[in-house]
Structure 1
Amino acid sequence: MSPSPPYVEPPLTGPADVPSDLLARPVPGPLVRHPVPLDERLIDPDVARTLRRLIRAGHQAYLVGGCVRDLLLGRRPKDFDVGTSARPEEVRAVFRASRIIGRRFRLVHVLFAGGKIIEVATFRRNPNTSDGDGDTDEEMIIRSDNVYGTVDEDALRRDFTINALFYDIERREILDFASGMRDIERRMVRTINDPRVRFREDPVRILRAIKFAAKLDLGLDPEVVDAIIQARDSLPLAAKMRLFEEVLRLLRDGAGRRAIFLAWELGVLHVLLPELAALLDDVGGDDGAPARVFRLLAEMDARTLERGEPFDDAVLWTLLMLEPALEACQGAGDRLGALMAFLEPIHDRLAAHRRIIDSVRRIVAMLPKLWAGHVGKATRSDIFAEALMVAEISLAARGEVAASQQLRQHIQRNRRPAPGDDVRTR
C-alpha cells in the first residue's frame, strides 16, 4: 500500500467553517501609487492610443490585470486589458469605429486597421453578498458579477492581489489597492481578503491559483495553501465545464508539469482526477508511473514553448491521462471497451467534451502501431496528426530518441499547411 501524501490531512490553522461576518464585500485598502515607468515599447501602441483618448475625453482609463502583472514580472503580455470609468455608450461616443457587445455584461470592441480589436471594459464590482445569511458552500458560490462599479471596487473584485494592479499610462504609476506590488516583489500568489472565503465563493479560483504559480514561477502564500486544502472538496460544486476548461489551461502555457505536480501535492487532483492521482501516489522510483507521467508532461511543456502555441486540446488531454489510460486497458481483451470504461467517469465528472474523450480513446488505440513505426492506414484517420504528435512526444519522454526523431520527421513532412500557406508558396 502506498503511503499517503503529506497534504491529505487539513492543517490545524483555523476553523473549517468561515464566520458569517467574513461574507461582507471587500473593503478598499489605502490606495498606494507606485512610480513605475513601464517600458512603453512593450505596450501595444493601439492600446496606448485607446487609453489616452479615453483620458482626454475626461474618463479614468488604465491598463488592468494580467498585462500589468506580466510587465512587472518582465514578461511580454499576450493580451492587454483596458478598464475605464466610462459606460459602454460613453466609450462608443469616443470611438466611432467601435461596437458594443454582450448582453449579460456589455463590453466595447474598439476597431483598428487589419481587423484588430481592443476590448474596453467598464469598472465592475461584486454583487453585495452580505444581504443573505446562507453559509453553506453551495450558497456562497458567486453566480454573477455583472454590476458597474468604481476603480477600487473593480480592483477588489479580482481574485489575486497580483491581478489587481492598474497602470496609469499618463502619470506612469501603478495603482495598488491590495498590496499587489509587495506580492510581485515577493513573487507570491495571494488572494484579496480571506482565501477561505474567496475559494468558497468560487472554487475554480483554486485552479487559477495553481495556474499562476506554475505559469509565472511564483510561490503560494501559506494561507492560500491552507485554504486550498480546506476548500478543495468544494470543487465539484463549480460548473463542470469550467473545471474542465481550467484543467486544460493548466496544460497550455508550457508549465503543465509544475501545475499538475502542485495540483497533486495539494490534493486537488484527488478530487478532480482521482484516476491520475492514484497513479501518482504509487512509489515507483525513476522508472515508476509517477516518473513517467512527469517526464511526459515535461516533454509536452518543452514542445509547447518550442512551438510558441499550445497543442490541440485532444493532444493535451491524451498526454495528461496517457499513463492511467494505458494501465486501465493493460491485459484487457477488449482494449477499446476498457478505455471507454476508464474515460466515461471523467466525462461525467468534468463534462469533458465528447469530441475530446472520443479522440483520446482513438489516439490511445492507435499508439501501439505508431510506436512500432507502422504508420500505414493510420494516415487516413482524421486524428492521425494528433495521434502522431502524442506518439512522438511519448517516445521522446521515454528516451527512445531514434524512434522519436523518425516520427518527428514524419510530422514535419505531413504538417497541415496554415491558412494561406499555399498562397504564399506560389
Structure 2
Amino acid sequence: MGRSTPFPLTSLTEPYPADLEPGPSFDAPARRYDVTFDESRIDPDVQKVLRRLTRHGHEAYLVGGCVRDLLLDRQPKDFDVATSARPEQVRDLFRNSRIIGRRFRLVHVLFQGGKVIEVATFRRNPKDEGDESPELLIRSDNVFGVASEDAMRRDFTMNALFYDIEARQILDWVGGMEDVERRVVHTIGDPETRFREDPVRILRALKFAGRLGFAITPDVYDAIVFCREALALAARPRLSEEILRLLRGGQARRTIYLCWETGVLDVLLPELSSLLYDEGDEDGAGPRQWRLLEYIDQRTAQEGPLDDTVLWTLLLLEPLKEVCEGARDRGIAVADFLEPLIERLAISRRYADGIRRIIGVLPRLLSGRAGRFARTELFQAAVEVAAADLSSRGESTQIVDRFRAAPEKHHHRGRR
C-alpha cells in the first residue's frame, strides 16, 4: 500500500506450507501430542470441573485460548471447558451452577470469590445441517455435536486445540499445533468463507496477530482485505467491544496499524484512518496518534488496561482536536463528530458523554488548572488523557502529574 511502517513487522505474510494445510473431515482421528503442563498454571477449580465430568463418563477438555496460551508460556486469563455432556447434565453434576444463554446455551459453574468456570457442550456448525441458503452469515449457533465437529467450527487453528488433563495430551484436528509452533494466524477452512460467516473474526485475526506477535498467512491476509466491507453487517456492539479489546491487549499500536494497513480502519473509523496518512511531519497528527497508541501500551504494561472512556478518547484524540480547532463551541463540535460513530459502532452514550467532557476540560488541565472538574468522577480519566497528549508531543507531563498524585488537594482548590 505504500505506507511507511512505524515499527517493524516481521514475516507478516509468511508462506503457509502445503503439507500443513488443515482440512480433515469431521470423523478424522485427532493428532495427539503428549504435553505436560505445570498443573499450578491451571486453575484448581477448573481441574475439579474437568475431573468430575470425566468421572461421570463424559468427555471434557480444556479448549481454546487457554491451551494456546499455555503452549506459548503465557498465563491464561481464563479457562474454558468443552464437554460431551449436555447443559442439563452439567447442571445436575454441579449444584453450584446455572444454565445461561438462549442462542448459545452453556453452564456457569460458580465458586467462592465470584469465580465462574464456563462449561460449553460440543457444538457443530449449524450450516452443516443441510442449510442451502446462499447467506453465509451465522445467526444461530446452538447445534450440539462431537469434539471433532466442535474443533472444526472454531475460527482459527490455534484456538481449536483440546487438552486432555487426564491423558496429558493435546488433541488436534486442524493443524493448530504446527501453527502455534510457526506462530501464524490461520483460519480453519477457507478464510473468505469464515470471515463472511462472522465478520468480527477479521478483528480477532488482527488482534491475535498484534497481541501474540504472530504472522498472518497470505490467504488470510488477502481475505481480510477482500472481506473488510462485511464488517458493516456485524452487530455493532460486538464491533465496539472488539475495538476495545484491541486497545486493552498491550499491543494497541501494532494492532491498530494492522487495521489501518488492511483497510479495516477505513470501514470502522474512517475519521481516524484518513488522519494516519499524515506521515511527512514528525510532529503532525498522524505521528502523534501512533505515539498515543504507544502510550496506551506503556500504561497497560505498567498498570493494566486503562479505563474504557480513556481508551476511546485516546484512540480518537487527534481527529477530535482537529474538529475543535476554530470551533465556537468545543462541546457541540465533539458531539457532532461522535454522532456518526455512535451510529456506526454503537458507542454508548456514557462513553460519548465522557469523551465530550474530557475534551472540553483538556485545555484547562494542560495549563495546570483543574477547577471544579477536579470533584467529578471523570477527573482522573481526564488527567490520563492530558498526560498522554503531552507525552505524544514530546513534552513533560509534570504539569498534570501533580493532579494524579494528590487529587484531594485540587478538590479544595476548585472550591476557592
Structure 2 partner of 1:275: 271
Structure 2 partner of 1:11: none
Contact kept, 8 Å, 2:81 with 2:119, in 1: the verdict is yes
Structure 2 partner of 1:186: 182
Superposed displacement of residue 334, structure 1: 2.5
Q: Greater shift after overlay, 214-223 or 285-294?
A: 285-294
1:28–1:319 Cα change, 3 Å? farther
The whole-number CA distance in structure 2 between the counterparts of 1:294 and 1:242 is 24
**TM-score scaled by length of structure 2:** 0.89
Superposed displacement of residue 26, structure 1: 7.2
Superposed displacement of residue 244, structure 1: 1.2
The whole-number CA distance in structure 1 between the counterparts of 2:121 and 2:133 is 30
The whole-number CA distance in structure 2 between the counterparts of 1:337 and 1:96 is 54
Q: Is 1:195 matched up with 2:230?
A: no
Q: Greater shift after overlay, 247-256 or 405-414?
A: 405-414
Contact kept, 8 Å, 2:292 with 2:388, in 1: the verdict is yes
Contact kept, 8 Å, 1:281 with 1:290, in 2: the verdict is yes
1:62–1:130 Cα change, 3 Å? closer
Structure 2 partner of 1:407: 400
Deviations 1:100-143 (A, max 9, x none): 233333322223333432221111111025744443xxx22111
The whole-number CA distance in structure 2 between the counterparts of 1:72 and 1:346 is 38
Q: Is 1:225 matched up with 2:218?
A: no
Structure 2 partner of 1:355: 350
SS in 2 for 1:282: coil
Deviations 1:140-167 (A, max 9, x none): 2111111111111111111000000000
1:244–1:114 Cα change, 3 Å? closer
Deviations 1:183-225 (A, max 9, x none): 0001011000000100011111100101111111111111110
Q: Greater shift after overlay, 57-66 or 376-385?
A: 376-385
The whole-number CA distance in structure 1 between the counterparts of 2:54 and 2:398 is 55
The whole-number CA distance in structure 2 between the counterparts of 1:370 and 1:67 is 42
SS in 2 for 1:34: strand
1:391–1:29 Cα change, 3 Å? farther
Structure 1 partner of 2:370: 375
1:362–1:119 Cα change, 3 Å? same
Superposed displacement of residue 29, structure 1: 5.0
The whole-number CA distance in structure 2 between the counterparts of 1:59 and 1:284 is 61
The whole-number CA distance in structure 2 between the counterparts of 1:206 and 1:261 is 14
Q: Is 1:287 matched up with 2:280?
A: no
Structure 2 partner of 1:14: none
Structure 2 partner of 1:213: 209
Which sections of structure 1, spanning at least 5 residues, go unmatched?
8-24, 416-426
The whole-number CA distance in structure 2 between the counterparts of 1:150 and 1:315 is 43
Equivalent of 1:392 in 374, 387, 408: 387
**TM-score scaled by length of structure 1:** 0.87
State percent identity of aligned pairs. 58
User: Which amino acid in 2 is paired with 1:363?
Assistant: I
Contact kept, 8 Å, 1:4 with 1:281, in 2: the verdict is no
The whole-number CA distance in structure 1 between the counterparts of 2:358 and 2:28 is 52
Structure 1 partner of 2:238: 242
Contact kept, 8 Å, 2:103 with 2:140, in 1: the verdict is no
The whole-number CA distance in structure 2 between the counterparts of 1:336 and 1:210 is 33
Superposed displacement of residue 38, structure 1: 1.5
Structure 2 partner of 1:421: none
The whole-number CA distance in structure 2 between the counterparts of 1:379 and 1:150 is 57
The whole-number CA distance in structure 1 between the counterparts of 2:129 and 2:4 is 36
Structure 1 partner of 2:78: 79
User: Which amino acid in 2 is paired with 1:170?
Assistant: E
Contact kept, 8 Å, 2:289 with 2:392, in 1: the verdict is no
User: Which amino acid in 1 is paired with 2:104?
Assistant: F
Contact kept, 8 Å, 2:279 with 2:287, in 1: the verdict is no
User: Which amino acid in 2 is paired with 1:272?
Assistant: L
The whole-number CA distance in structure 2 between the counterparts of 1:359 and 1:29 is 53
SS in 2 for 1:175: strand
Superposed displacement of residue 405, structure 1: 3.4
Equivalent of 1:262 in 258, 272, 277: 258
1:267–1:42 Cα change, 3 Å? same
Structure 2 partner of 1:422: none
The whole-number CA distance in structure 2 between the counterparts of 1:251 and 1:387 is 18
Structure 2 partner of 1:17: none
Which sections of structure 2, spanning at least 5 residues, go unmatched?
6-23, 409-416
Structure 2 partner of 1:46: 45
Superposed displacement of residue 228, structure 1: 0.4
The whole-number CA distance in structure 1 between the counterparts of 2:226 and 2:101 is 36
Q: Greater shift after overlay, 26-35 or 49-58?
A: 26-35
Deviations 1:397-424 (A, max 9, x none): 32222xx134234223239xxxxxxxxx
Q: Is 1:328 matched up with 2:326?
A: no
Structure 2 partner of 1:22: none
